[in-house]
Amino acid sequence: MLSILVLHGPNLNLLGQREPGVYGTTTLDDINRSLEAEAQSLQVQLSCLQSNHEGALVDAIHAALDRHQGILINPGAYTHTSVAIRDAIAAVNIPTVEVHLSNVYRRESFRHHSYIAPVAVGQISGFGAESYLLGLQGLVKYLEVRSEE
């Protein structure tokens, strides 16, 4: 059975309260419950972690080696600042999908650059909490096709 690591970056623990006009009213617990339900239908296992600390996210990526076949990550603000998270993803070479609740390309210009995108197999943004489900579906499909090659 495929195992996917889901990482939520800084401030995502405040979803539902934080800038609802941008991020919606869905909580992180709601997102994780939706992901778990989708994972069951896709017959994959999930392990979810949220951290406001860059090092904790890097450690989780390192620990994913030989444990998970894919990573679904919303790096939050670290998308635009973290070479460390980018390098960790490149180092473990685990297929990764980057997701964002908002369409980062319709927001402030500093959000238009992602350090993660060049080392990810794909990126989904702008669909609110649905971005996570679309990201999980895409990642699982990618892994299934890759295993058939």
Could you give the residue numbers annotated as active site? 23, 100
Buried b / exposed e over 86-102, threshold 16 CB at 10 Å, is: bebbeebebbbbbbbbb
Per the CB < 8 A criterion, the answer to whether 15 and 132 are in contact is no
Q: Left if phi > 0, otherwise alpha if psi is -120 to 50, otherwise beta: which for 132? A: alpha
Judge contact between 35 and 48, C-beta under 8 A.
yes
In this structure, how many other beta carbons lie within 10 angstroms of the beta carbon of residue 31? 27
